């Protein structure tokens, strides 16, 4: 059971996350000010959930790939010439290999596929979701230049639709080469599509550690999930989703032997 100082510290961290994400006012539910026994009961449930999430799942063998994973980082020219799936002929402007620290960064973030802004600039996560991802990265005490940011697919699907399993399978060898060449200390998957793209044969859970080809992997919500539903999601659900993201990022920091800035 968590003590009152521990509960208050977690509440402070949640408020700090809101500040980092640009929130200037926070509505406080009266239930949050209930007697300590109620707060402690909630904390016990959260602690039990965290302990369950902390279990490390054995390594999941990767799907058979058509290419070896030791050819180094794929180049823009190589990706541009790729015709393994139809995305290249469906209106794509630029391939989006990804960018950041390619020399064994602490973290590699992986999303699903480029959007319109990314397709126009040839860079991963530069639109509205990318701005939210930047806030997440800064809240962890990093800059975008210190991590590596990529996607399962390197080309934008038409109308920003979800990439098909066939398209993700065709592009996966390029991502495997990136992972092998970059050698991140851990990988954070952003969203369900990235989760199914890297683990197509297994249903994985957010906030639980897995391994992929020897690399620790954990998943959380895609930034677009938060910003898309921010105007319509009820305050409690939105706060819960944001706190889940923050708790997952804290698990990543703990695995790296770090703490949130200022802690």
Is the residue at 69 inside a domain? no
Same domain, 85 and 153: yes
> Over the stretch 24-70, which tens digit does the pLDDT of each residue have?
555 555 544 454 455 455 544 544 444 444 444 444 444 444 444 45
Looking at the domain assignment, is residue 16 inside a domain?
yes
Which parts of the chain sit beneath pLDDT 50? 31-33, 35-36, 39, 43-44, 46-69
Asked if residue 236 and residue 118 are part of one domain, the reply reads yes
pLDDT score at 51: 44
Write out the DSSP string of the chain: ---HHHHHHHHHHHHHHHHHTT-------GGGGS-HHHHHHHHHHHHHHHHHHTPBPPPPPPPP-SS-S-S-SPPHHHHHT--SSGGGGTT-------EE--SS-SEEEEES---HHHHHHT-SS-SHHHHHHHHHHHHTT--GGGSEEEES-SSPPGGGPPPPHHHHHHHHHHHHHHHHHH--SEEEEESHHHHHHH-TTS---TT-BEEETTEEEEEE--HHHHHHHTTTS-HHHHHHHHHHHHHHHHHHHHHTT---TT-
- Residues with Cβ within 8 Å of 173's Cβ and at least 6 positions away in sequence, in order, are 65, 66, 67, 69
> Would you state the pLDDT for residue 21?
55
Residue 60 lies in a domain: no
One domain for residues 47 and 103: no
| 138 and 200 in a common domain | yes
Q: Write out pLDDT tens, residues 229-246.
A: 666 667 788 888 899 999
Predicted TM-score of the model (pTM): 0.76
Same domain, 181 and 212: yes
Task: Note whether residue 114 is domain-resident.
Answer: yes
Is 63 inside any structural domain? no
Q: How many distinct structural domains can be found in the chain?
A: 2
Domain assignment present for 123: yes
Same domain flag for 49 and 116:
no
d(C-alpha 4, C-alpha 155), whole Å: 49
Q: Please check whether residues 139 and 30 belong to one and the same domain.
A: no
Contact 155, 95 (CB under 8 A): yes
- Which residues form the domain of 177? 76-255
Same domain, 87 and 46: no
Same domain flag for 118 and 157: yes
Note whether 136 and 94 are same-domain residues. yes
């Amino acid at each position: 059971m968590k003590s009152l100082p521990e509960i208050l510290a977690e509440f402070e961290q949640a408020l700090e996350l809101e500040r980092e994400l640009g929130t200037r006012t926070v509505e406080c539910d009266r239930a949050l000010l209930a007697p300590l026994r109620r707060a402690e009961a909630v904390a016990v449930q959260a602690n039990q959930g965290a302990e369950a999430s902390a279990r490390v799942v054995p390594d999941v063998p990767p799907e058979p790939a058509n290419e070896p994973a030791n050819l180094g980082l794929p180049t823009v020219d190589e990706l541009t010439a790729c015709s393994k799936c139809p995305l290249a002929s469906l209106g794509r402007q630029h391939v989006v290999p990804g960018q950041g620290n390619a020399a064994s960064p602490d973290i590699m973030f992986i999303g699903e596929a480029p959007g319109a802004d990314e397709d126009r600039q040839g860079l991963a996560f530069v639109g509205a979701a990318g701005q939210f991802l930047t806030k997440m990265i800064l809240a962890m005490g990093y800059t975008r230049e210190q991590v590596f940011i990529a996607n399962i697919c390197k080309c934008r699907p038409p109308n920003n639709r979800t990439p098909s399993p066939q398209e993700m399978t065709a592009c996966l060898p390029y991502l495997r080469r990136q992972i092998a060449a970059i050698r991140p200390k851990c990988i954070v998957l952003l969203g369900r599509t990235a989760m199914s793209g890297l683990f197509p044969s297994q249903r994985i859970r957010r906030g639980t550690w897995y391994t992929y080809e020897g690399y620790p992997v954990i998943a959380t919500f895609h930034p677009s999930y938060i910003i898309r539903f921010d105007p319509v999601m009820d305050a409690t659900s939105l706060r819960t989703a944001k706190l889940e993201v923050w708790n997952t990022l804290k698990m990543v920091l703990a695995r790296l032997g770090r703490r949130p800035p200022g802690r």
